[in-house]
Chains A and B, each alone.
Chain A
């Protein structure tokens, strides 16, 4: 087998050492970076992890008008940093997941958020609240796996969209609204429908209610709506955690905790939970 020798790879030795070397190298070749791309309705999040699921980098950009273009830009940016199909696997999630042609796999945001949250919060037993731009999800995780979930229907109440509309009416940015809300109190918006709630806010403005109080009412209404939605799943005694775009605002977490009557935990990284979960799934893909 003359040419068998030529073709023999360096690690194809017979000694124990060489065998280990071969296994290590094969593992290295198998090992690729995990890239998770979460194309949400407002923001596109990207997380890159090493083969062990440690976050190497993360980024965020507005989804804009075209999720196809956004996905393309993300691909270019990653490639500029040397992250390509040669050394990484890609999993797409979020409502725009089908717009990512270079993804090795598409996985729904439910599974990705769950996977990301389990790793982020270091617990196999979790109740996840994800407030997204267009929908709110409640996910129950037992033994590290999703056992139940609900997503709100077409209505935008209790979502980031609701917050945006109300912030617009108050002529502030959503972040500002959340900050202002912390110094407001004792005001309520009774309507759960975004359209009606908007006219309620306009009425409150007309009556001279302070912006802080109105902001309080807006955040509280989101918390109440999420709580109502939670009636359709069976949260267990594990921690309740918040993921999604509102993680950065302590007051949102506070109102949720008050609505649920129990602590709600979050972390700034939880905003990337979906993309992180996707990256973890990508890192675990074979072939």
Chain B
């Protein structure tokens, strides 16, 4: 392990507390990932990245900052990376996925706030995550109420820009989102000192589309009858794609996809034939939240797809590349991003259609719909999701959980019972 202590110190981190986090992570990685058999070789890249998650990529980002580039931290897949990239900026995801940060968040937020928000705020205020220290500007969005209010708190500690996401998806909302993107572009130009030109934005659009296609290739390989990769490994790849350089991400995903496609030709599977295939849907699973995948995959089933922002919603739909003016390009961006079906919107029938479609495409035997505790939006939507699935004759299990381990056995009982039901 390289020595990153100096770097962390320079970032103003709380080294002592951070040490505690560094101690638990390797055990978690070992338990969840290294116990698996017959993993794809190409996972070596993500194993390396996760083993030094607070070292390798942060060090790269700092190097780029030294060259004058700006780092933008984001919390939602609605914020268009393309705009930042066009201004030679760098985007990094900033969602907190560990219980470690929750108490820090609870110090300033009500307890009944979703753990993702609490952990994100805790990671910033507790100074225990290098990514939260490195980002020069945070970009928030008006999605759920909890995040909106949390951004006000974060905004006192770090430059914060909030995009106004529409609540509906009418044509005028798509136009409005285009305006928001245009305004964001101005802000990014100002903050980076770089002009966004048609050519640069076109390049950025192509780059991010390429990353989407690579992620999609990995997911497409998971549709195969055999199971070429575990859900855990696919999730790790997906989570890290939020932090990585987009070109390298595409390259690594394509390398993984090559191997998975070969496995599919050879009929190689990481689970015994007949293992029940689960489509997971619901709230995002921020790194290092592997709890649900781990329980499902040690209860006799396998996750074949995630209908989540850390899943299909991140890469489905490409941005039209034919725009020749900034205005056209912003519109193309808006059209693509507004296709994302998040529970913050009303109505949100598109998500149900997606779930039904994905269940079929990925040959899921059952669907698990899980929301983070205190996420009202996704919790309320569970009823509509389960009704639609039952109507389609697809078994569904609705769950709620947070980042704590205390409910692991209760979850396991439900999940095992669900798998027993599918096996019957």
Q: Which residues of A contact B (CB under 8 A)?
A: 95, 107-111, 135, 145-151, 153-154, 232, 234
Given contacts A232-B398, A234-B390, contact A151 B420 (CB under 8 A): no
B414 in contact (CB, < 8 A): yes
Tell me which residues across on chain A come within 8 A of B424, comparing CB atoms: 111, 145-146
Since A108-B420, A135-B410, A232-B398 are in contact, a sample of 5 more A-B pairs with Cβ atoms closer than 8 Å, ordered by chain A residue number, is A108-B416, A110-B413, A111-B420, A146-B424, A149-B421
Q: List 22 A-B contacts (CB under 8 A).
A: A95-B409, A95-B413, A107-B420, A110-B420, A110-B421, A111-B417, A111-B420, A111-B421, A111-B424, A135-B410, A145-B424, A147-B395, A147-B421, A148-B390, A148-B395, A149-B421, A150-B398, A151-B413, A151-B414, A153-B400, A154-B410, A232-B398
- Indicate if the CB atoms of A110 and B417 lie closer than 8 Å: yes
Q: Do B417 and A108 touch across chains, with their CB atoms under 8 A apart?
A: yes
Q: Which residues of A contact B417 (CB under 8 A)?
A: 108-111, 146, 149
Q: Are A154 and B413 in contact (CB under 8 A)?
A: no
Secondary structure at the B interface, as helix, strand, loop or mixed, is helix
Q: In the complex, A149 Cα to B395 Cα: how many Å?
A: 10
For B407, the chain A residues whose CB sits under 8 A away are: 154
Distance in Å: Cβ of B70 to nearest Cβ of chain A: 43
For chain B residues 403-421, which have a beta carbon within 8 Å of chain A? 407, 409-410, 413-414, 416-417, 420-421
Give chain B residues whose Cβ lies under 8 Å from the Cβ of A109.
413, 417
A234 to B420, CA, bound (A): 19
Closest CB of chain B to A229's CB: distance in Å? 12
Question: Shortest CB–CB separation between residue A186 and chain B, in angstroms?
Answer: 33
- Looking across the interface, which residue of chain A has its beta carbon closest to that of B383? A232
Q: How far is B416's CA from A149's CA once the two chains are assembled, in angstroms?
A: 12
A64 to chain B, nearest CB (A): 18
A145 neighbours in B (Cβ, 8 Å)? 421, 424
Smallest beta-carbon distance A98→chain B, Å: 8
Q: Which residues of A contact B410 (CB under 8 A)?
A: 135, 151, 153-154
Is the beta-carbon distance between B413 and A146 smaller than 8 angstroms?
no
Q: Main SS of chain A's interface residues?
A: mixed
Chain A residues whose C-beta falls within 8 Å of the C-beta of B416 in the assembled complex = 108
Q: Which residues of A contact B421 (CB under 8 A)?
A: 110-111, 145-147, 149
In the complex, the chain A residue whose C-beta lies closest to that of B397 is: A149
Select from chain A the residue with minimum beta-carbon distance to B419: A108
The answer for the CA separation of A55 and B420 in the assembled complex, in Å, is 24
Cα A12 to Cα B366 in complex, Å, equals 48
Expressed in whole angstroms, the Cα–Cα distance for A130 and B175 within the complex equals 53
Who on chain B is nearest to A109 by CB? B413
Distance (Å) between the CB of A149 and the closest chain B CB?
Answer: 6
Q: Which A residue's beta carbon lies closest to that of B413?
A: A108
Closest residue on chain A to residue B407 by CB atoms: A154
Chain B residues lying within 8 Å of A232, measured Cβ to Cβ, are: 398
Q: Which residues of A contact B420 (CB under 8 A)?
A: 107-108, 110-111, 146
A146 to B420, CA, bound (A): 9
Kindly state the separation between the CA atoms of A234 and B390 in the bound complex, as whole angstroms.
10
Min C-beta distance of B390 to chain A, whole Å? 7
Closest to A154 in B: B407
Closest Cβ of chain B to A96, distance in Å, is 10
Most buried by B among A146, A147, A150, A232: A146
Q: With a CB–CB cut-off of 8 A, which chain B residues contact A149? A: 417, 421
Once the chains are docked, how many angstroms separate the CA of A100 from the CA of B76? Answer: 45
Nearest Cβ on chain B to A126's Cβ, whole angstroms: 15
- Complex Cα–Cα for A149 and B398 (A): 10
In the complex, residue of chain A having the shortest beta-carbon distance to the beta carbon of B415: A108
Q: Using Cβ atoms and an 8 Å threshold, which residues of chain B touch A107?
A: 420
> In the complex, A222→B278 CA distance in Å?
34
Residues of B within 8 A of A147 (CB): 395, 421
Residues of A within 8 A of B398 (CB): 150, 232
What 1/0 flags go to B196-211 for Cβ under 8 Å of A?
0000000000000000
Annotate B116-150 by CB proximity to A: 1 below 8 A, 0 otherwise. 00000000000000000000000000000000000
Mask, B171-196, CB within 8 Å of A = 1, is: 00000000000000000000000000
Q: List, in ascending order, chain A residues with CB within 8 A of B409's CB.
A: 95
C-alpha gap A26/B204 in the complex (Å) = 73
Q: Which residues from chain B contact A148 at a C-beta distance below 8 Å?
A: 390, 395
Residues of A within 8 Å of B400, CB to CB, are 153
**Min CB gap A146→B, angstroms:** 5
CB distance from B279 to the nearest CB of A (A): 17
Q: Which chain A residue shows the least CB distance to B416?
A: A108
State the Cβ distance, A42 to closest chain B Cβ, in Å. Answer: 16
In the complex, what's the smallest C-beta–C-beta distance from B423 to chain A, in angstroms? 9
Q: What 1/0 flags go to B233-263 for Cβ under 8 Å of A? A: 0000000000000000000000000000000
A2 to B292, CA, bound (A): 61
In angstroms, Cα B42 to Cα A218, docked, is 59
Most chain-A Cβ atoms within 10 A of its Cβ — which of B398, B407, B417? Answer: B417
Residues of B within 8 A of A95 (CB): 409, 413
Q: CA of A215 to CA of B413 in the docked complex: distance in angstroms?
A: 32
Instruction: Compute how far the CA of A211 lies from the CA of B410 in the bound complex, rounded to whole angstroms.
Output: 34
Encode contact with A along B37-78: 1 for CB under 8 Å, 0 otherwise: 000000000000000000000000000000000000000000
